[in-house]
Chains A and B, each alone.
Chain A
């Protein structure tokens, strides 16, 4: 149920994101989803890849600071109010979202969002009780 996200520390300087992504490309790692959060001086790149262990090892080998983070990949109805409905459901259960971003591929006719929660188990329970489908890592990487 949990999906591993690779989180990468990046300095805010031109060309750095390209350098890190090309390290992954050379290792044959495919990106499935990506988000970048930044401040004035630094940023955090968050990616879902097809092979987390390999991607992590490659970055480590090149001295890039990265860690693996548990996130949930959730099916979201691809229609107006689809995401709002899920956030309301979570809100009613007092689950807070740390951050989220969209997945590139679709699952059937549904969109996929990646969520990072402060309390992942509580969030998963709330979603499941609300009838929201959570994708497994296997499903996700094979999309």
Chain B
């Protein structure tokens, strides 16, 4: 019995080692091609399949390169580890990208590869968004977007006499928002729900007061003072004073919120445009409207647009100019609509280049109110410069105190005082 066991043990170990070796050999075949490593994560179900066919076609059309697609989970660890060992992938969805001022030596400066026409079409604002503080263009733009908005149940709104399309056209202010919520409460639903309050307050502050830190050097922190406190106070009052948002919402996540929205327990929620079709289907709602954020306290809300794209890396030691040219060619290819399909449209993203966007829009048959609203936002919104790593830390500090304020631990005033103190300590 024992002999048999130990034999089995040896056999398994042997097989194991062999298997471990064997699978590697496969890759050395066909190594004549220039391999481009490409990482994506799925923004919606089925995105991976789309990419598989895109990559397959590209490999067929370009026989001297081989694009290796990796569909990664939404986790930054592999990228961080890869960067730390100086072996990042060639191209990755920019969500995986480290902060703008980290790993400068591993990032490709795409300014070296951009043509004047492309530069023109993107425009200085989009380009500025893709630059690192040192002026390197680390990312190639793929889509323009503002994905986080308030979503409203059109049926319920109409039921209480609100006109969502009018709101989309003209905007609204905080008092109008409150009165709509209260009307919703009278018909037995929660007026408003938000499972990511700190995030939302950030968006409000950004749109009403401006970005957290200014471009100047040394950095100037802008989220201070009475205006800031007022904004936080009004948001906090949704729970404690006007009572249009239930406190329980603090303990659920966005999927739970969606679930309840689908069950018509909430009239308005703060979520993402990508979810509109799902919510309409799940909740049997005839139309879910994207609503703008409100002007308040005499301030006008200006939406800030984000530019999503591809992070392009080079390994250290460098793989060579030929390889980089192939990589950039691939990046430019995937940043355009392919066969009439523009993947970011699934979450409300549009091509960032002016001409390209116009052409694409003209090709859209059905312009529903939400799309009309999105297009308006694209034209009137601002694109801010990419913020340095310090901004992430600042956000964390601010969000900590926002959470405490939303929980009822401290007042909005106190929260702003506390975070102002912390941030100035950080920036010293």
Asked if A pairs with B, the answer is no
> Could you tell me which A residues sit within 8 Å of B by CB distance?
none
> Could you tell me which B residues sit within 8 Å of A by CB distance?
none
